[in-house]
Chains A and B, each alone.
Chain A
Amino acid sequence: MTNHKEPTDNEILDAIDNQPKISKITVLSSLLAISNKFHYIPKNAVEIVAKYTDKTINDVWGVASFYTNFRFTPPGDITLDICWGPTCHILGSQKILKDVHSFLGIEKEGETKDGKITLRYSTCLGACSQGPVFAIDHKLFGNASIGKIKEKISDI
């Protein structure tokens, strides 16, 4: 992320405290709250969550490394998800992925060189009937083509 500043311990505690109402705060619910606020899990967060939930640092790392939506470095300003699930695959998502690679100048998932865009492959975005599907910052678009992806990114 451009102009990135690491969140302070207090900001992380705030994110845990202000998570949506739940009867028992857990390691996973806290990590999700942190990830939703900062879009990644900052280094200091693991220890804070461990203390807060009375678990070990290993427990927290175990959970954080398991769920594939968690990341440990800040993402780009824009996150682009492209679905490669079976429906989108049949409708040509491999070709789209390839075109997106050359458009962004990268060879796999991750950030562009300028750090502005993060590309992720998604297993299913849940709008198969509009496939192939892509999402920009969680907002869904159907009928994907490289042209449409370029257009929607330039709209931001």
Chain B
Amino acid sequence: MEFNEIRNIAINEWDSLNSDDNTWIRVGYGASGQASGAQEIFDIFNKRSLSMKNVTTTLVGSMGLSYAEPLIDIKDSSGIRIFYNNVNPSIAEEIFNSHIKNNTPLLKYIFGQIVPKGKNPVQGIIELDKSEPLKFTKQIATKNFGNISPTKINHYVANGGYEALNRALDELDPDKTLNQVKDSGLRGRGGAAFSTGIKWSFLAGNNSNVKYILCNCEEGDPGAFNDKGILENDPHMLLEGLILAGYATGASNGHIFIRDGHEIPIENSRKAIDQAYELNLLGENILGTGFNYDVEVSLTGDSYVAGEETALMEAIEGKRSMPRFKPPFPAVYGLWGKPSNINNVKTLSYVPYIIKEGNEEYKKVGSESSSGTAIVCLSGHIKRPGMYEIEMGMTINDLLKNIGGGSSTENEIKLLQTGGPLGGVLGKEDFDVKIDFDEMSKAGAILGSGGIIVADTTTDVVDLIRTLVAFNQFESCGKCFPCRLGNTHMLDILNRICNSKPNENDMDVIKKIGNSMKTGSLCGHGQLGYSPIASAIKYFKEEFDLALSANHPVDSDIEEMILPTRTRP
């Protein structure tokens, strides 16, 4: 089948869903939607609409507005999308009876509207895309979130999907495709922020006939859920990027690497891959161009270190996910001993846009050194927790105010914990820092994978740091003894400090341990183990001093911190 034919079929399906005589009810899902109870709401609408003609109910991706979920989007004969937020089962029944059966939107529950081009807005209802927080976002990789079903390839194609792949196969050779990505300034979104184009060129330069592109969706960072978010909401965006990466580098196979148990992203990826095979967007002789490429889903068990690039390859090979020595680097000796390239989900999800619109268009977005957008996850003490795609260069203050809506409690925001448990904390005095790889690392914080945990003034910094170290201790793979023993020792000391039984030189000992971990560990898990502590001391030295004088405020409810008992032997 020609691509034009694929596209025409998809557009026909999309147009009939959006035609004025069809009422389309969309229920936002994903992990966050599930946690808010969206499945039950979907079931109600779906069951009740079965008996009605011209009403379609679909589970779609989440718009990222977690605070408003379950979020229902109803497009009726007016063509306008009306949204209802925080819907519970009884409100769902009410909405159905009034809006669907009697064609009367229920104003008292309405969250907002999105008006398509050429239509007039309904008076008295706010336009979501023109008000906070969405008007401050810039959607590239997340443009389809909430709009399309993640399990229907036709929805993706009808919204411009796979046009980039078609363009690359038609007009660009692999070199030109790679150069587009290189010139776009795209940098890896997994934490290291290395140029994606340059990374790809290492693999492209290797002539092996088996080469792997490994897409890392392990995402164990607590507070970050954007990688899984992309697979939950729009898996084809990632898949198209993964195919383009294969084309640009001459790779033969792609893997999507996910932790077992995250059912929605796993199911969605598998479905997306099957659908792509059916339309010959994967497999042999893709779209008749002679390009062959296979993609599969690889699962890992629970292990945070499996997200490290060489440990990831060990896990796919079925072994303990422990990091390998480098060199040899993955581009020379990777999965099954073959040249490999590892990219984060977000990184690959920008590629379709870059190839379709051109590297110059992509470069227009973002800051000088960090082109494009950042997909940030807000959680903790924040009014509007969720997942937002914002232009690089926005300040933390603007993010917290315009996107997050400020503190969710009566107390002010005290600090942010960014970059995962090996990242750091950012104190208030640096909230004017720009969200940009280089600006943030100058301030001593890292953007990492985009998880931003917001904590208000009631948060005990020493206790928060203990939680991070407890996480690192629990997740150390045990291969390098400075990391294995160091984290355990640091946790012991922090436990003692938190229980108001400190030794005078405790923080010096922790620093020494941190230094040994930095020099004596193979991967970032040990090397960066001290960074959260260092950054916390930078901003909140007085709290550590207080704890060191045996005056740590003890929460009377919790005597001993409750920590996991399962450990690695």
Contact = CB atoms under 8 A, between A and B. Distances in A.
Interface in B78-124: none
Max chain A C-beta neighbours (<10 A), residue from B296, B317, B320: B320
A29 interface: yes
A22 B298 contact: yes
Interface stretch (B188-196, B481-489, B559-567): B559-567
29 contacts: A22-B297, A26-B319, A32-B260, A32-B301, A62-B319, A69-B260, A69-B301, A84-B563, A86-B222, A94-B555, A95-B557, A121-B563, A121-B564, A123-B302, A123-B471, A124-B223, A126-B225, A127-B35, A127-B225, A128-B224, A129-B66, A129-B225, A129-B377, A130-B35, A131-B379, A138-B261, A139-B34, A140-B31, A140-B35
Nearest to A100: B562
B222 A128 contact: yes
Max chain B C-beta neighbours (<10 A), residue from A62, A97, A123: A123
B453 A128 contact: yes
B166 interface: no
Nearest to A131: B379
Contacts of A8: none
A154 B301 CA distance: 30
A110 B565 CA distance: 9
Given A28-B299, A29-B299, A128-B224, 7 more contacts: A28-B301, A31-B301, A68-B301, A68-B303, A86-B417, A87-B379, A126-B262
A82 to B, nearest CB: 9
Contacts of B27: none
A140 B464 contact: no
Interface string A45-66: 0000000010000010011011
B52 interface: no
A91 B458 CA distance: 11
A59 B565 CA distance: 24
Interface string B310-335: 00000111111100000000000000
A20 B566 CA distance: 28
Nearest to B558: A94
Contacts of B453: 86-87, 90, 128
B561 A142 contact: no
Contacts of B53: none
Max chain B C-beta neighbours (<10 A), residue from A127, A130, A139: A130
B381 interface: yes
A132 to B, nearest CB: 10
B564 A63 contact: no
Interface in A83-138: 83-91, 94-95, 97-98, 101, 108-110, 121, 123-131, 133, 138
Interface of B: 31-32, 34-37, 66-67, 69, 219-225, 228, 253, 260-263, 270, 294, 296-304, 315-321, 336, 377-381, 385-387, 417, 421, 451, 453, 455, 459, 464, 467-468, 471, 474-475, 477, 555, 557-558, 561-566, 568-569
Nearest to B69: A130
Given A86-B417, A138-B261, A109 B379 contact: no
B29 to A, nearest CB: 11
A28 B318 contact: yes
A32 to B, nearest CB: 5
A143 to B, nearest CB: 8
A98 B562 contact: yes
Contacts of B220: 123-124
Nearest to B379: A128
B218 to A, nearest CB: 11
A36 interface: yes
B564 to A, nearest CB: 5
A38 interface: no
B288 to A, nearest CB: 24
A21 interface: yes
A127 B459 contact: no
A97 B299 CA distance: 29
B523 to A, nearest CB: 16
B225 A69 contact: no
A62 B569 CA distance: 9
A149 B40 CA distance: 17
Max chain B C-beta neighbours (<10 A), residue from A27, A62, A69, A83: A69
A70 interface: yes
A84 B34 contact: no
B318 A85 contact: no
A40 interface: no
Contacts of B31: 125-127, 140
B531 to A, nearest CB: 15
Contact of A95 (B36, B381, B558): B558
Given A86-B223, A94-B558, A97-B562, A70 B474 contact: no
A112 B548 CA distance: 39
A121 B561 CA distance: 12
A143 B467 CA distance: 20
A33 B67 CA distance: 35
A67 B417 contact: no
A108 B557 contact: no
A92 to B, nearest CB: 10
A109 B566 contact: yes
Contacts of B475: 123
Contacts of A143: 36
A109 B566 CA distance: 8
Max chain A C-beta neighbours (<10 A), residue from B37, B557, B562: B562
A21 B35 CA distance: 29
Contact of B32 (A53, A85, A109, A127): A127
A10 interface: no
A29 to B, nearest CB: 6
Contact of A28 (B35, B315, B468): B315
A101 B378 CA distance: 29
Given A84-B562, A94-B558, A142 B36 contact: yes
A86 B459 CA distance: 11
B337 to A, nearest CB: 13
B380 A90 contact: yes
